[in-house]
Chains A and B, each alone.
Chain A
């Protein structure tokens, strides 16, 4: 076998490992009886697998590097994921042979096992699936997990351009979420939310849902990459949509050329790159996000210009003051960008327009950061769920119910008015309780 082909094969084997392990995760709650049946033959084995599963789901299905006391550490020969993969492979082999009665002599060779067709040709079924991993998604997960409903969450793999955790992963200090008197970094906060979800048993897949069919029971979901398959990858009796919103861009003339080459929608992600060091940068927007990003960028920029469409900021008084008082910040009111220019490789200047006089002028800038709000992530649900004119999911006021019984929406995806981390967490809880009650009524035998 050629070198390249063997590398490819190794990749295929281990990504099939992960698919197997993902299915193993999903099966674990519903096939606990079959695990118990096998526990007499390999007790420490399944303890091992169960512990590893939990750890792995907290690390997004990859390397488990914990060395805390657990039955698995007895075998000293294991090398990093080698051990976890081998365990999954072997554990899957036992479950597979139990449920499908296919004999596999490759059970003793973990590597080869993964070239078997995936054990579950049928979709993974859950009582409830959560799509989204921001504060709404995780709060729903904690409540549902504690209600022993074994929720499965799809936290997304760069879904809508966000890392798992959602919009908060692109902010630095969060100072207005109650419980953190010293403030907390957005990314850290989402790590804690995730930890809590996992602690109570939420199964989390670091994958994006690419397609759904909510028109009949059970609800059908397709993971990204598998949308063309007739069979969904996953099904659920209840779905909580907590997909949040994605950053708005203006799509100015020149933007395609300089996107990610000076133009960005995430100051915190990109601000630190060398092309912005000690250079003039611009932030578009007048709210708290814009203010926060502008202050953040002052660490790197020579100067930060905040382009505000109106004659005043929308930001909270505290943020507005911080901005106005900052020596490295200039707020340009009644100003919008209308074009971006550069040398073909990097952004060099922005054409600004005065919204009152309509006059244009050009400003040197090496970076342009959008902080102008978000668009709810609802493309997946068009034609199935009722959306308002701005694309937000319509919910019955005072609840998280959508037009489809069993489907609930929480967080920014259904909230045009408040859009705060804490209100999202609140509606996440409401969605969990709504879903729990609905399941009790419509699928009581699953409790």
Chain B
């Protein structure tokens, strides 16, 4: 399964040390988050150059506040430390599109 981030330090470290990061903002009560999790786990396995992480918004409140979340699940796509794309809602077709866009982005 996708790695869950436990602290702000970990979160910032992952963003700064990986070129391509996909972040799932999740919550225990969020059934849609649970529904999309297997797809993310599969992509985590398939796309070796993208780092996948999960953040529980109740556990890391300050970090999630800064993320500007409107609804759950929200998935952020980071490229070279900057937010590249965003997906709100558990749409697996759109998720694949976004992931392929990130995969196609240059590593530089």
Contact = CB atoms under 8 A, between A and B. Distances in A.
A411 interface: no
A230 to B, nearest CB: 22
Nearest to B103: A7
Interface in B49-89: 49, 57-58, 61, 64-65, 67-72, 74, 88-89
A163 B71 contact: no
Contact of A157 (B41, B49, B89, B92): B92
Nearest to B92: A157
Contacts of B104: 3-4, 7
Bin chain B's interface residue count.
Answer: 35 or more
A264 B70 CA distance: 10
B31 A169 contact: yes
A381 interface: no
Interface string A224-263: 0000000000000000000000000000000000001110
A303 B38 CA distance: 35
Interface string A154-173: 00011000111100011010
B25 to A, nearest CB: 8
B3 interface: no
B104 to A, nearest CB: 4
A80 B41 CA distance: 10
B58 A206 contact: no
A65 B92 contact: no
A184 B48 CA distance: 39
Q: How large is the interface on A (under 10, 10 to 19, 20 to 34, 35 or more residues)?
A: 35 or more
B35 A163 contact: yes
A157 B35 contact: yes
B98 to A, nearest CB: 13
A163 B34 contact: yes
Contacts, number: 119
Contacts of B34: 163, 169, 187
Nearest to B69: A273
A275 B69 CA distance: 7
Contacts of A80: 45
Given A170-B31, A270-B71, A14 B46 contact: yes
B35 A158 contact: yes
Contacts of B48: 10
Contacts of B103: 3-4, 7-8
A195 B9 CA distance: 37
Given A163-B32, A262-B70, 5 more contacts: A60-B38, A169-B34, A270-B30, A272-B57, A274-B68
5 pairs of A and B residues whose beta carbons are closest in the complex: A169-B31, A163-B35, A163-B31, A4-B104, A260-B71
21 contacts: A4-B103, A7-B104, A8-B100, A8-B103, A10-B47, A11-B47, A15-B42, A63-B42, A63-B45, A158-B32, A163-B32, A187-B34, A260-B71, A264-B71, A269-B30, A269-B72, A272-B27, A273-B64, A273-B70, A274-B65, A277-B65
